[in-house]
Amino acid sequence: MAQDFERNFASSISNSSGSPTTLVTSNSDDAIVSIRCVNKHTTAVTVSVLISSGGTDYFVIKDAPLPTGGSLELIDSGSKIVIQNGDVLKAYADTASAVDVLTSFVDAIST
């Protein structure tokens, strides 16, 4: 069975840890294959990415520094993060309108 590759591009993510930007909401067993955070601001910023599952937040990375014009790839070397139905991938930065996040994932992993 062919895999269903999907992507989400989030521009100018939230700067509030209390109201992070939703990147992916899983409706099945999915595999996140890439999360790239890009600083488009004129100064260094920090970014946090987390997965909310069953009412608990699990950080993929917290307060990671992003230099001016820099990017951070959170999944590399063939690694993946599996999320299941109802899990939500979210992100926020410490500065408004400073960070874009590009996410790639496999939707509905086949058996």
Distance CA 58, CA 19 (A): 15
> How much is the pTM?
0.92
Q: Which residue has the higher pLDDT, 49 or 75?
A: 49
Q: Has domain 4-107 been given CATH number 2.60.120.340? A: yes
- Asked if residue 36 has pLDDT above 70, the reply is yes
Please list, in sequence order, all residues whose beta carbon lies within 8 angstroms of the beta carbon of residue 86, skipping any fewer than 6 positions away: 25, 26, 53, 54
Please list, in sequence order, all residues whose beta carbon lies within 8 angstroms of the beta carbon of residue 53, skipping any fewer than 6 positions away: 83, 84, 86, 87, 88
Q: For the chain, give the mean pLDDT.
A: 93
